[in-house]
Amino acid sequence: MYKVLAKEMLNPTVVRLTIEAPDVARSAQPGQFVILRVDENGERVPLTVADYDAKTGSVSIIFQIVGTETELLSRKEAGDYILDFVGPLGRPSNTEGIKKVAVVGGGVGGAIAYPVAKKLHQQGAEVHIIAGFRSADLVILEKEFAEISSIFRLMTDDGTAGEKGLVTDALAALIEEGHQYDEVIAIGPIVMMKFVSLLTKKHGIKTTVSMNPIMVDGTGMCGGCRLTVGGETKFACVDGPEFDGHLVDFDGLMKRNSMYRKVEQEHLCNLMEEGK
Amino acid sequence: MANMQPNKTPMPELDAALRIQNFEEVALGYTPEEAKAEAERCLNCKHKPCVNGCPVGVPIPEFITKIKEGDALGAAETILSMNMLPAICGRVCPQESQCEQVCVRGIKGEPVAIGRLERFAADALREAGGAKQEQPAPNGKRVAVVGSGPSGLTCAGELARLGFSVTVYEALHKPGGVLVYGIPEFRLPKAIVAEEISALEKLGVKIRTNVVIGKSMTVDELLEEYDAVYIGSGAGLPSFLNIPGEELNGVYSANEYLTRINLMKAYTETSRTPIYRAKKVVVVGGGNVAMDAARCARRLGAEVSIVYRRTEKELPARLEEIHHAKEEGIEFAFLASPLKLEGDENGWVRSVHCQQMELSEPDASGRARPVPVEGAEFDIPADCVIIAIGNTPNPLISATTEGLETNRWGCLVLTDEDAGLTTRERVYAGGDVVTGAATVILAMGAGKTAAAAIAKQLS
Ligand SMILES: Cc1cc2nc3c(=O)[nH]c(=O)nc-3n(C[C@H](O)[C@H](O)[C@H](O)COP(=O)(O)OP(=O)(O)OC[C@H]3O[C@@H](n4cnc5c(N)ncnc54)[C@H](O)[C@@H]3O)c2cc1C
Ligand SMILES: Cc1cc2nc3c(=O)[nH]c(=O)nc-3n(C[C@H](O)[C@H](O)[C@H](O)COP(=O)(O)OP(=O)(O)OC[C@H]3O[C@@H](n4cnc5c(N)ncnc54)[C@H](O)[C@@H]3O)c2cc1C
Ligand code: SF4
Ligand code: SF4
Ligand code: FES
């Protein structure tokens, strides 16, 4: 059992939980993830390590409530327990040799990108952050992003906060202004990562994206997380989750991730009925 | 006077039509009378050929004699002295190619049903509340075991018996390895695995789940804390066919399909892990894994075909599993090799396009290789395809442990086979991670060998 140390709602559907997990905290690095199970009947859910502190043995996760497991997880309060919590899994982000970087986050993807952006900032790299949200009420980590970046562009679809527009608009503008990035790191919805990658390919900028296929074990045992990268089959949990955005087959991944949509919706409906 | 019946005493089984509707255990086990009758078939041979056929050296005639005498618990204690997981082995050992293969009674007629008798004794002991385990006096030495499959568990149990303080690290949330995530409930009830594991815990073995060695902790970190490390991490990396269409929805590795069903219990009402309930499933492969996947799919309501490159004679699965699969209405397409998987416009698999094969003349090794029949290709419709063509060791540990050598299949290399010693000092290994995918009992044998070597080294 793993104790919930703290809980915070970052917006109405995005939650930060801090969990007591010394084994994970001791070896975690930016870009890695954990797999947790809320309770005995629960699925194994992959979530990125949003922050970690080896001294206190704690690990934070930031997640969006999208279905049954994340809904149940969001009902945990400080002092409650979750059943299983394993990690860190996956390869750490590569930060070596990066002097100037644009980090592009879409929705909760911004939270996933935050640890690597922070590490790059601490390493002395020049960090530009573009964070996109649907509207003002969904904005998260605004203060944190501003603190670690020399340029921070907040974008919303409806213009209720920051500038109105897409993250790709902001990135294109920064590139136009003449910023030369060693790398672009893009994390968010698959479509967003796809379009960022198309843009950066035109400009020949190396681009890293973080893939979130359906996972079971997270250790390379099931092959459920496989995706096609540069024509080769890769397992996201051990070969990733970060890959070269110019080589990933985004459309294939979108199809694979829809595999259980119907069943999952039924589970969630049942849960919501119970909750009433 | 020995029972000279040429055939094994039959073991009652659930009827096939009934059992494909649930995940209950198929083979029901002997009654005391049936066990006694079968035990009477054993000739109590002086030279005990059967014992040489058992990788852990179970004292077979001795335990069978106890069953003859009506002392099932005594029989179980006798087995336990050499084999700490008898209820498991009695159910899943490929006896026909081990102990029973060399049984004298097998020369004329069927061998003694050693596996069934082992199961009978182990079940009797469990029902009586289990063995009286006393924790031995600690000897002050500490050993870490990586992986809680049969190999790791056996090594841990043997060492605990000798007074070592042993901690098993397991990546998944439940201990047991393939015994819990691979082999289905209807062949090996998980409650039985849990009880045999809890017997080890009573001996003092500590099990820590949710720790991935190579990620949460490295082997080198373990070596700082422990006197020796045993790696029994299995062969968990699934092979794919590497043909077009394997990325389609509805295509599973057997590992994923079986893990969702066995570990995550996706077939139950309460589990929230989804599994696709297909109408027509094609399983590719011919081993135990393929049979298990096929029989699970059948129980989830599908029509199932097994596609295998060679003929029935070469099927590597246990005979009992093949027999059960056929009874359950599973079809076999022999001499067929998939060329590609076809999908529909939404990215779901629709059919398996196969090449017709034929067996060539046996080559130097005596094995007939399947070769394509030019121009003979055909389609099998399927809305789910399960790939069960083999597993290799996962590189997580070898990639993060300097000096730990692997061969070209990714298996750990031993420098001393008789001790299970790897290319690193104080690091031992055994089971599937060394041999590649093999059997429960060979994995246990390796765990036992290494335990003895570790004990010797550390004394
Ligand atoms: C390596 C990795 C890291 C991740 N990190 C984070 C994170 O830090 N924060 C966060 O909010 N989410 C993250 N995710 C996604 C997260 O795992 C899923 O949102 C979660 O599993 C949904 O579970 P659920 O039961 O609540 O929803 P479900 O009922 O399972 O699904 C609800 C909807 O989400 C879709 N979905 C399910 N699983 C995934 C998935 N893995 N990726 C994309 N869509 C999915 C379903 O098709 C469905 O439409 C990560 C995923 C991976 C693989
Ligand atoms: C579906 C199926 C059916 C089978 N049927 C039979 C049968 O009927 N009879 C038979 O004799 N054999 C059968 N086998 C083969 C048999 O199960 C294996 O040979 C045996 O389990 C190998 O044991 P092991 O201890 O070496 O590894 P495993 O049982 O594979 O256990 C390894 C354990 O190590 C864990 N692990 C891996 N990496 C790490 C890490 N880095 N850190 C921590 N833990 C880790 C894994 O999660 C796993 O729990 C079957 C196999 C399968 C897959
Ligand atoms: S452990 Fe397996 S091989 Fe050994 S006697 Fe028992 S059934 Fe036979
Ligand atoms: S070889 Fe067969 S008959 Fe002889 S002792 Fe062993 S089990 Fe009994
Ligand atoms: S999640 Fe199972 S192999 Fe990646």
Query: A236 CA distance to ligand 1 centroid (A)?
Result: 14
Chain A residues with beta carbon closer than 8 angstroms to that of B383: none
CA distance B283 to B290: 6
Residues of chain A with pLDDT > 70, as a percent, come to 97
B9 belongs to a structural domain: no
Helices (H) and strands (E) in chain B, counts: 16, 17
Question: What number is the average pLDDT over the span A60-77?
Answer: 95
Same-domain status, B231 and B252: no
Yes or no, beta carbons of B255 and A222 under 8 Å apart: yes
Compute the distance from residue B176 Cα to the ligand 2 centre, in Å: 8
| 3-class DSSP state of B452 | helix
> CA-to-CA distance for B150 and B232, rounded, in angstroms?
8
Q: Is B136 part of any domain?
A: no
CATH code: domain of residue B341:
3.50.50.60
- As for the ipTM of the complex, it is 0.93
Pick the residue from chain A with its C-alpha nearest to B251.
Answer: A224
Q: Ligand 5, residue A223: give the atom nearest the CA.
A: 3
| Boundary-marking domain end, from B127, B157, B176 | B127
So what's the pLDDT on residue A116? 94
Domain boundary among B71, B102, B127: B127
d(CA A69, CA B404): 39
pTM for the whole structure: 0.94
pLDDT at B56 over 90: yes
> Would you say the CB of residue B52 lies under 6 angstroms from ligand 4?
no
pLDDT of residue A274 exceeding 60: no
What kind of architecture, by CATH, is found in domain A2-89?
A: Beta Barrel (2.40)
What is the pLDDT of chain B when averaged over all its residues? 95
Residue A74 corresponds to which tokens in the numbers above?
A: 């969001």
For residue range B203-212, what is the model confidence (pLDDT) as tens digits? 999 999 999 9
Domain boundary among B101, B127, B153: B127
pLDDT tens digits for range A138-169? 999 999 999 999 999 999 999 898 889 999 99
Q: Is the pLDDT of residue A267 over 80?
A: no
Is residue B14 within 8 Å of residue B54, measured between CB atoms?
A: no
CATH number of the domain encompassing residue B26: 1.10.1060.10
In a domain, B135, yes or no: no
Asked if the structure places residue B134 within a domain, the reply is no
Q: Per residue in B288-335, pLDDT tens?
A: 999 999 999 999 999 999 999 999 999 999 888 999 999 999 999 999
Ligand 1 geometric centre to CA of A212 (Å):
7
Instruction: Name the band, by pLDDT with cuts 50, 70 and 90, for residue A273.
Output: low
- Count of domains forming chain B: 3
Vertex A238 angle, CA B224 and B166, to 5°: 30
- Regarding whether B123 and B175 lie in a shared domain, the answer is no
Best to test chain B binding among A82, A215, A217 (most B CBs inside 10 Å): A217
Check residue B53 and report its DSSP letter: T
Q: What pLDDT is stored for residue A131 in this prediction?
A: 95
C-alpha A136/C-alpha A139 separation (Å) is 5
What is the rounded distance in angstroms from the CA atom of residue B335 to the CA atom of residue B351? 17
> Which architecture does CATH list for A100-210?
3-Layer(aba) Sandwich (3.40)
What letter represents residue A270's amino acid? N
On whether any CB of chain B is under 8 Å from the CB of A150, the answer is no
Q: Do A260 and B171 touch (CB under 8 A)?
A: no
Query: What are the pLDDT digits (tens) for B8-18?
Result: 999 999 999 99
Predicted confidence band of residue A84 (pLDDT cuts 50, 70, 90):
very high
Which residues are paired to B238 by β-bridges?
B391
**Tokens linked to A257:** 């991730």
How close is the nearest chain A Cα to the Cα of B66, in Å? Answer: 41
CB atoms near residue B156 (< 10 Å): 32
Residues B290 and B396 in one domain: no
pLDDT (tens digit per residue) in B201-249: 999 999 999 999 999 999 999 999 999 999 999 999 999 999 999 999 9
Q: Which residues of A touch B390 (CB under 8 A)?
A: none
User: What whole-number distance in Å separates Cα of residue B308 and Cα of residue B335?
Assistant: 6
Q: Quick check: B236 and A219 CB within 8 A?
A: yes
pLDDT tens digits, B329-339:
999 999 999 99
For residue A88, say if its preceding peptide bond is cis, omega within 30 degrees of 0: yes
| Residue A248 reports pLDDT greater than 60 | yes
If asked whether residues B313 and B401 sit together in one domain, one would say no
Which of residues 209 through 228 in chain A touch B, CB cutoff 8 A?
216-217, 219-224, 226-228
User: How much is the average pLDDT of B263-279?
Assistant: 94
Q: Give Cβ neighbours of residue A197 (< 8 Å, ≥ 6 apart).
A: A186, A207, A209, A245, A246, A248, A250
Does residue B132 lie in a domain region?
A: no
Q: Are residues B220 and B267 part of one domain? A: no
Q: Is B346 part of any domain?
A: yes
Question: CA A96, CA A242: separation in Å to the nearest integer?
Answer: 15
Q: Which of A245-259, A262-276, B178-192, B364-378 has the highest mean pLDDT?
A: B178-192
Domain enclosing residue B185, as ranges: 142-236+391-458
Please give the full DSSP string across A99-152, using - where no structure is assigned. Answer: -EEEEEEETTHHHHHHHHHHHHHHTT-EEEEEEEESSGGG---HHHHHHH-SEE
Positive or negative CA dihedral for B59, B65, B68, B69?
Answer: negative
Q: Report the C-alpha gap between A100 and A110 in whole angstroms.
A: 18
**B230 and B174: one domain?**
yes
Query: Measured between CA atoms, how close is B394 to chain A, in angstroms?
Result: 7
A210-227 pLDDT per residue, tens: 999 999 999 999 999 999
Tell me the two tokens of residue B457.
């080294």
pLDDT at B1: 66
Answer yes or no: are the C-beta atoms of A171 and A130 closer than 8 Å. Answer: yes
Name which residue sits closest to atom 7 of ligand 3, judged by CA: B115
CB crowding B225-264: b at 16 or more within 10 Å, else e: ebbbbbbbbbbbbbbbbeeebbbbbbbbbbbbbbbbbbbb
DSSP B436: S
Query: Which of A23, A68, A238 is opposite residue B396, by nearest beta carbon?
Result: A238
The answer to whether residue A266 scores a pLDDT higher than 90 is: no
pLDDT tier, A276 (very low <50, low <70, confident <90, very high otherwise) = very low
Please state, in angstroms and as integers, the Cα–Cα distance from residue A29 to each residue in A26, A90, A94, B344, following that order.
9, 10, 10, 40
In a domain, B4, yes or no: no
CB B407 within 8 A of CB B18: no
Give the number of C-alpha atoms closer than 13 A to the C-alpha of residue B403, restricted to the C-beta side.
Answer: 11
Q: Are strands A151-156 and B349-362 parallel, antiparallel or unpaired?
A: unpaired
Picking from B174, B180, B210 by the largest number of A CB atoms within 10 A of its own CB, the best residue to mutate is B210
**Does B219 reside within a domain?**
yes
Q: Treating both helix axes as pointing N-terminal to C-terminal, what angle do B114-127 and B72-80 enclose, rounded to 10 degrees?
A: 110
Using CA of residue B412, residue A226, residue A30, residue A85, what is the dihedral sign?
Answer: negative
Q: How far is B185 from chain A (nearest CA, A)?
A: 17
Report chain B residues whose CB lies below 8 A from the CB of A264.
Answer: 274
pLDDT (average), residues B105-132: 94
- Residue B251 shares a structural domain with residue B228: no
pLDDT score at A271: 65
Of B212, B240, B265, the CB nearest to A219: B212
DSSP state of B429: E
Which of these ranges, A45-54, B62-71, B359-368, B423-432, has the smallest mean pLDDT? Answer: B359-368
Same domain, B254 and B207: no
Enter the DSSP assignment of B171.
Answer: S
A224 contact residues in B (CB cutoff 8 A) = 252-253, 256
Q: Where in chain A is the domain with CATH 3.40.50.80?
A: 100-210
Is residue A265 predicted with pLDDT exceeding 80?
no
The CA–CA distances, whole Å, from A6 to A20, A26, A44, B122, B374 equal 9, 19, 21, 47, 66
pLDDT for A34:
97
**Does B292 contact ligand 2 (Cβ within 6 A)?**
yes
